[in-house]
Amino acid sequence: MASALLALALLAAVAGPVGWRLRRRPAFVTGRDGRLSTSTVLALAWTVILVWLLLTILAYGLTTGGGTRYFTGEHGPLSSLTTVYLPLLGGPYVALIAAKAVVGIRLENGTLAKPAARPTDSGRRPLRELIANDSGRTDLVDLQYVALSVVTMLYVVLFFLSDVSGGLPDLPGEIWALTGAPAGAYLVNKMATRPNPVITEVTLKDGTVVVRGGGFTADARVEVNGALLPTQYEPDPETLTAPLPEGPPSTFTVVVVARGLRSDPYAYAPAAVA
């Protein structure tokens, strides 16, 4: 029990400053579009957990008086570090580095749209961005990556707390697949995502619908409730304006069509905007 309390205290000591740093400057875990980066957040979380595990094992070994003898032997507390835990950490970091490279290349080639995220009133980014695409809709690939990673983290943390003296939990070597496979699917999704236009905001002004986002082109058209409207394009920032028909409904769905590709539907509702 005492060793578990010591481990929890060290977890607070490691995770606390990281959380405080992210609270003050969340840009540390955001992408170049200003949204929370799924790959960055998960890689950081795994780093914090591994650092906590190693510090706790070190503290336990020193306080129990075992000295160097505690860390030696075929079944020492760090025996599974290279066979299980470093591969477990490798998947998220490969996904992080490769995803940054893929997104950067696709942005330079114009095959991906990444409009800047709308600022929030609190200045913090919503956690939902970890499992959502740039339009705010839940992305199944991101969802499975986050969900399986969180389950694996809980598996590691709870088994470690149940027997701190045993060192790193003796997990099956195949458990790295719970982070490696989702990370691979996440990366493939980044490579395969089509350059669809993205809507980030819709407003009304003097009978005109104003659509902001990214991936728009000069021939882009605004579609309201299935009806195409005559549209004007402004490149900086990327904005589309279109006159609404007389007597439009108070709520309607907006879609942008550009280069033959359609954006995710954006549901406009005055109450939501207010």
Q: What SS3 class is residue 82?
A: helix
pLDDT digit string, tens, across residues 91-138: 888 888 998 888 888 887 877 777 877 777 777 788 888 998 888 888
DSSP string covering 94-160: HHHHHHHHHHHHHHHHT----PPPPPPSSSPPPGGGGGB-TTSPBPHHHHHHHHHHHHHHHHHHHHH
- In whole numbers, what is the pLDDT of the chain averaged over residues? 84
The pTM score is: 0.81
What local confidence, expressed as pLDDT, does residue 218 receive? 87
- CA distances to 60, 156, 158, 166 from 80, rounded to whole Å, are 17, 12, 17, 11
- CA distances to 11, 120, 254 from 132, rounded to whole Å, are 29, 16, 19
pLDDT digit string, tens, across residues 163-195: 888 888 887 767 777 778 888 888 888 888 888
What local confidence, expressed as pLDDT, does residue 271 receive? 56
Exposure string (b/e) for 47-78, b if CB count within 10 Å is 16 or more?
ebbbebbbebbebbbeeeeeeeebeeeeebbb
The answer, yes or no, to whether residue 146 has pLDDT greater than 90, is yes
CA distance linking residue 53 with residue 88, whole number of Å: 14
The answer, yes or no, to whether residue 25 has pLDDT greater than 90, is no
The answer, yes or no, to whether residue 274 has pLDDT greater than 60, is no
DSSP H/E element including 254: strand 252-258
